[in-house]
Amino acid sequence: MSNIKLEQYKIFREAAFTLSFSQAARNLYITQSAVSQTITLLEKELDTSLFIRHRKGVTLTKEGEMLYHKISQALSLITNAENELANYKTLTGGELIIGAGDSLCEHYLIPYLVSFRERYPQVHIKVVNGTTGETIKLLKSGTIDLAFVNMPLIDDRLHVKSCFTVHDIFVSGTKDTHTYSYEEIATKNLILLETLSNSRHFIDNYFSKHGILLKPAMELGAHTLLLKFAQYKLGISCVIKEFSKEELDNNKVFELDINPPLPARSIGYASLKNMALSAAALKFIELIEEGL
Instruction: Give me the pLDDT at residue 46, please.
Output: 92
Taken in order of first residue, the domains within the chain and their CATH numbers are: 6-87 (1.10.10.10), 91-164+267-290 (3.40.190.10), 168-263 (3.40.190.10)
User: pLDDT class for 180, splitting at 50, 70, 90?
Assistant: very high
Instruction: Give me the pLDDT at residue 291, please.
Output: 76
Helix residue spans in 89-168 (DSSP H):
102-104, 110-119, 132-140
Q: What percent of the chain has pLDDT over 90?
A: 65
Q: Determine the residue type at 246.
A: E
- Res. 93: pLDDT tops 90: no
Which stretches does DSSP call E strand in 136-186?
Answer: 146-150, 158-166, 168-172, 179-180
pLDDT in tens, 203-232: 999 999 999 999 999 999 889 999 999 999
| Cα gap 261→94, rounded to integer Å | 45
Indicate left, alpha or beta for 31 from its phi (over 0: left) and psi (-120 to 50: alpha): beta
Instruction: Give me the pLDDT at residue 92, please.
Output: 66
Contact, 129 vs 101, CB < 8 A? yes
pLDDT in tens, 49-80: 999 998 888 999 999 999 999 998 888 888 77
Helices (H) and strands (E) in the chain, counts: 12, 14
pTM of the model: 0.65
Lowest mean pLDDT among 82-91, 102-111, 193-202, 223-232: 82-91
On average, the pLDDT of the chain sits at: 90
225: Cα separation from own chain's centroid:
23
98: helix, strand or coil? strand
Bridge partners for 151 per DSSP:
none
Contact, 286 vs 161, CB < 8 A? no
